[in-house]
């Protein structure tokens, strides 16, 4: 069965709304760069980067069957602060017992929980504290402080992003780092091994998380991102982490301002399905456009034909809707892969029935979504094959999907 492209003629107009928005209105940008730099320097001295390995993304308790796997990866140093866990208290507690001040900073700047002004005054000193308040980085009342930003530790750097808003995102120009950012970055890291590349591109870059990740293997990296606020955050992150100038960032609507070719392209674009009206009026980092949210990923994959060098490597995230048992991304990719000679492997990394626009998903009969890494090389032999997925993980994720669907509160039940 072939799922019709009914709503998918790639008219690609969703950006018009945001163009008006970025030209017409004022949105808070990154905080003062010097203040941010001082804070990041202090966090480094307090071993904040060490917390990057503690799994902190909560999953339902009954999924603890997957915990031995998480724990094993933790012991191997392969987890991140975005690794899902049913038992977050298991990780970090011991370390935090001997790093109490870092725990306060981690809870404030990574988990975005409240802190007491007196503790912060003691840890950071009054001068830095007033700098943070004056720059709007933190707000306080009645002796309680909260951070307006999130500081994400990763590798040797600390990224500036917005606090997590979960699935109920309300900020239009949201600056994103999430679990999928780390999934792609880890994959790119493993895939690149120790090879050297000439020119790398991070498309739909957000905080430039992916570009950052590949930079040590590339002579130069370009990050392209549409959201002006994210561009500003990425530049502030570069400055505060002392990154050199082999890295440039450009504001671009997908390929619009990208020139030349690349031997490696990484992209974590928006890829969730939503109705036209939501795409046009809300939340730039989440909805992937028409054709069940595959519009932007497909435009990017298509662009690999033009922007990848012969032999070049492309890595891209997308979510495939499963409709009446049919996983439809594969059939959308095949003609593009053949046209451009892209040898492609679809690597599943999560089965989920997350519903960001429940009405749309019910209307379009989307049973669930399969998250994929699209891994491609421009060899001239266009093809798409599907990689395997660990049986136990698939079983538990599909069980969770089944259980959620049976709940009377679940949309479409």
Ligand X SMILES: C[S@@+](CC[C@H](N)C(=O)[O-])C[C@H]1O[C@@H](n2cnc3c(N)ncnc32)[C@H](O)[C@@H]1O
Give least dist CB 224 to ligand X, A: 6
Binding part of the chain for ligand X, among 102-110, 246-254, 351-359, 378-386 by CB under 6 A, reads: 246-254
Binding part of the chain for ligand X, among 118-126, 142-150, 200-208, 396-404 by CB under 6 A, reads: 200-208
Residue with tokens 């046009």, as numbered in its chain? 280
Of the residues 31, 200, 269, 314, which one makes contact with ligand X according to CB under 6 A: 269
Contacts (CB under 6 A) with ligand X, residues 274-313:
284-285
Asked if 82 is part of the footprint of ligand X (rule: CB under 6 A), the reply reads no
Asked if 227 is part of the footprint of ligand X (rule: CB under 6 A), the reply reads yes
Of the residues 30, 137, 221, 254, which one makes contact with ligand X according to CB under 6 A: 254
Give least dist CB 326 to ligand X, A: 25
DSSP assignments along 288-310, one per residue: --HHHHTHHHHHHHHHHHHHEEE
Give least dist CB 54 to ligand X, A: 19
Q: Are 37 and 135 in contact (CB under 8 A)?
A: no
Residue 114 CB coordination number (10 Å): 13
- CB contact set of 6 (below 8 Å; sequence gap of 6+): none
Say whether 6 sits in a helix, a strand or coil. Answer: coil
Rounded-to-integer distance, Cα 126 and Cα 128, Å: 6
Please give the DSSP secondary-structure letter assigned to residue 287.
B
Q: Are 132 and 39 in contact (CB under 8 A)?
A: yes
Binding part of the chain for ligand X, among 84-92, 135-143, 265-273, 301-309 by CB under 6 A, reads: 265-273
Binding part of the chain for ligand X, among 42-50, 137-145, 264-272, 367-375 by CB under 6 A, reads: 264-272
Please give the DSSP secondary-structure letter assigned to residue 380.
S
- The answer to whether the Cα torsion of 278, 208, 221, 346 is positive or negative is negative
Angle between helices 295-307 and 329-340 (to 10 degrees): 10
The contact pattern for ligand X, residues 308-347, with x = CB under 6 A and - = no contact, is ----------------------------------------
CA triplet 212, 215, 218: central angle to 5 degrees?
Answer: 155
Q: Which residues pair with 222 in a beta bridge?
A: 201, 248
Query: Considering only CA atoms, which of 356, 264, 340, 348 is closest in space to residue 299?
Result: 340
Contacts (CB under 6 A) with ligand X, residues 7-46:
15
Please give the DSSP secondary-structure letter assigned to residue 191.
H
Give least dist CB 81 to ligand X, A: 13
Quick one: 137 or 175, whose CB is closer to ligand X? 175
Binding part of the chain for ligand X, among 87-95, 226-234, 324-332, 404-412 by CB under 6 A, reads: 226-234
CA atoms lying within 13 Å on the CB side of residue 263: 12
Asked if 148 is part of the footprint of ligand X (rule: CB under 6 A), the reply reads no
Give least dist CB 334 to ligand X, A: 24
Quick one: 92 or 269, whose CB is closer to ligand X? 269
The contact pattern for ligand X, residues 388-407, with x = CB under 6 A and - = no contact, is --------------------
Asked if 268 is part of the footprint of ligand X (rule: CB under 6 A), the reply reads yes
What tokens does 56 get?
């902190």
Quick one: 157 or 207, whose CB is closer to ligand X? 207
Contacts (CB under 6 A) with ligand X, residues 90-109:
none
Quick one: 120 or 176, whose CB is closer to ligand X? 176
Quick one: 204 or 318, whose CB is closer to ligand X? 204
Query: Considering only CA atoms, which of 216, 389, 203 is closest in space to residue 314?
Result: 203
Give least dist CB 285 to ligand X, A: 4
Please give the DSSP secondary-structure letter assigned to residue 90.
G
Give least dist CB 164 to ligand X, A: 13
Q: Are 136 and 31 in contact (CB under 8 A)?
A: yes
Applying CB under 6 A, the residues found at the interface with ligand X are: 15, 176-177, 181, 204-207, 209-210, 225-227, 230, 252-254, 268-270, 284-285
């Amino acid at each position: 069965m072939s799922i019709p492209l009914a709503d998918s003629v790639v008219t690609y107009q969703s950006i018009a709304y945001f163009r008006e928005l970025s030209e017409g209105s004022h949105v808070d940008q990154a905080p003062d760069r010097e203040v941010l730099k001082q804070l990041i320097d202090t966090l480094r001295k307090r071993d904040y980067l060490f917390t990057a390995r503690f799994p902190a993304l909560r999953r339902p308790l009954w999924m603890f069957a997957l915990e031995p796997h998480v724990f094993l990866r933790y012991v191997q140093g392969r987890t991140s602060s975005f690794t899902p866990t049913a038992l977050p208290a298991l990780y970090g507690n011991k370390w935090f017992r001997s790093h109490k001040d870092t725990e306060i900073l981690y809870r404030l700047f990574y988990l975005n929980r409240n802190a007491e002004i007196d503790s912060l005054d003691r840890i950071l000193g009054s001068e830095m504290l007033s700098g943070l308040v004056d720059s709007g980085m933190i707000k306080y009342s009645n002796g309680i402080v909260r951070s307006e930003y999130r500081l994400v530790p990763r590798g040797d750097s600390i990224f500036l992003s917005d606090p997590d808003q979960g699935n109920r995102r309300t900020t239009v120009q949201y600056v994103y780092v999430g679990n999928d950012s780390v999934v792609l970055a880890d994959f790119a890291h493993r895939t690149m091994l120790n090879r050297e590349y000439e020119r790398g591109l991070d498309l739909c870059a957000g905080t430039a998380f992916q570009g950052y990740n590949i930079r040590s293997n590339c002579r130069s990296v370009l990050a392209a991102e549409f959201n002006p606020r994210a561009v500003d955050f990425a530049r502030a992150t570069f400055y505060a982490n002392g990154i050199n100038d082999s890295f440039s960032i450009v504001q671009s609507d997908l390929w619009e301002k990208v020139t030349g070719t690349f031997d490696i392209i990484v992209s974590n674009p928006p890829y969730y399905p939503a109705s036209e009206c939501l795409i046009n009026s809300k939340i730039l980092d989440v909805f992937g456009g028409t054709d069940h949210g595959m519009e932007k990923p497909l435009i990017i994959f298509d662009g690999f034909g033009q922007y990848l060098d012969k032999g070049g490597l492309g890595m891209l995230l997308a979510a495939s809707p499963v409709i009446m048992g049919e996983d439809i991304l594969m059939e959308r990719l095949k003609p593009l892969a053949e046209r451009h000679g892209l040898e492609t492997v679809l690597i599943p990394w999560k089965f989920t029935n997350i519903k960001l626009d429940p009405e749309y998903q019910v209307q379009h009969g989307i049973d669930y979504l399969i998250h994929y890494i699209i891994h491609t090389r421009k060899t001239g032999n266009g093809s798409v094959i599907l990689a395997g997925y660990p049986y136990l993980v698939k079983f538990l994720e599909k069980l969770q999907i089944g259980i959620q669907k049976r709940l009377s509160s679940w949309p479409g039940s």
